[in-house]
């Protein structure tokens, strides 16, 4: 089968691999589509490290073509989305319900072969059946939606609170829909590309801001009578936007670090400012116990994911897809084997 992985030099390679063997509790799926996320771009561009010879891709949907002898609740021809994160269930964090912080966490598409291939084998417990009323290709965005749900859980959004989302990529636009649906008061979205700003406005944002040609902090202060917003979700992952987030939040407010920054990025924060303003700085990592909710939201049409698919490319053009995803103009590039 054709697959995309990193070689020993850390370079993206297209090559043939054997279709993996299905064990008792596994399923084999024929990949329908797999998203190229920011983490993938960082790895393929050498910004973050990647494990060699592992097929990348962790945001994917597929059709089951074979089930192991021990699998009881899934059948061939079922369309499933994949939770890529596999906890050990034995460490301190797992035993205390924080499976995403597992010290032995392994991930499909990171540590184990993933979705940038024609086929993928995975433990059946990592698969969630997609209802028939959902177009299968949209299922590739179930995992990012699940991650966004965890972020919303972390900020504990209250109805009527003002929210600023910095970054209108796929995750920023999903988060926009979630905070609007969650009863936020005013929703501000900062995004340099007009196409994404238009989508954010269509999804219910109160005000969209072009941070290149407008002063983000000045607008937020004016719109909130100098107070700042209650919640800022930083969905870019750069030092500049993280510092903007801290300046834009009100005293007593919460800032969520949602965007994935390169590992070597550092910021300078005043502990006194955090203390005096009583700020809450939060992180959000992957998708603990939120995949089922993500599928339910898609099935109930409470989020609109189809407009976030900006490009669909064949697997043999994945290098082109990575270049497109690197520009910032695309929203979510899907690889369709």
Tell me which residues are annotated as active site. 39, 42
| Helix ranges restricted to H, 45-141 | 92-95
Closest CA to 62 of 81, 75, 44: 81
**165 Cβ neighbours under 8 A, 6+ residues apart:** 172, 175, 176, 179, 187, 188, 189, 190, 200, 205, 232, 233, 235
SS3 70: coil
Phi, psi for residue 250 in degrees, rounded to 5? -75, 165
**211 Cβ neighbours under 8 A, 6+ residues apart:** 166, 190, 191, 192
Residue 127 bridge partners (DSSP): 82
Helix (H) or strand (E) holding 273: helix 271-276
Pairing state of beta strands 187-190 and 207-209?
parallel
Angstrom distance (rounded) from CA 253 to CA 265 = 24
* Cα angle 180-195-144, degrees, rounded to a multiple of 5: 50
Residue 126 near residue 99, CB atoms below 8 Å: no
């Amino acid at each position: 089968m054709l697959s995309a992985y990193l070689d020993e030099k850390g370079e993206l390679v297209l090559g043939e691999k054997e279709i993996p063997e299905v064990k008792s509790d596994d399923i084999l799926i024929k990949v329908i589509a797999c998203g190229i996320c920011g983490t993938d771009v960082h790895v393929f561009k050498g910004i973050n490290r990647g494990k060699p010879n592992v097929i990348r891709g962790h945001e994917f949907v597929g059709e089951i073509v074979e089930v192991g002898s021990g699998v009881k609740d899934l059948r061939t021809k079922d369309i499933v989305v994949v939770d890529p994160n596999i906890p050990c269930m034995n460490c301190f964090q797992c035993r205390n319900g924080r499976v995403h912080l597992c010290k032995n966490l392994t991930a499909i598409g990171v540590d184990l072969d993933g979705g940038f291939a024609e086929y993928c084998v995975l433990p059946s417990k990592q698969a969630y059946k997609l209802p028939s009323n959902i177009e299968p290709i949209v299922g590739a965005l179930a995992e990012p939606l699940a991650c966004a749900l965890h972020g919303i859980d972390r900020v504990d959004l209250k109805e009527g609170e003002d929210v600023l989302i910095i970054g209108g990529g796929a995750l920023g636009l999903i988060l926009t829909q979630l905070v609007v649906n969650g009863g936020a008061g005013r929703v501000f979205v900062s995004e340099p590309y007009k196409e994404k700003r238009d989508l954010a406005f269509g999804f219910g944002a109160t005000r969209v801001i072009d941070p290149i040609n407008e002063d983000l902090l000045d607008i937020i202060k004016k719109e909130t009578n100098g107070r700042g917003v209650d919640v800022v979700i930083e969905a870019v992952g750069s030092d500049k936007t993280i510092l903007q987030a801290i300046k834009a939040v009100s005293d007593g407010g919460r800032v969520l670090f949602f965007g994935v920054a390169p590992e070597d990025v550092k910021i300078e924060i005043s502990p006194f400012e955090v203390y005096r303003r009583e700020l809450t700085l939060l992180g959000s990592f992957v998708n603990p116990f939120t995949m089922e909710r993500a599928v339910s939201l898609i099935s109930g049409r409470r989020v609109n994911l189809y407009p976030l698919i900006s490009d669909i490319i064949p697997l043999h053009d994945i290098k082109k897809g990575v270049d497109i995803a690197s520009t910032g103009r695309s929203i979510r590039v899907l690889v369709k084997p």
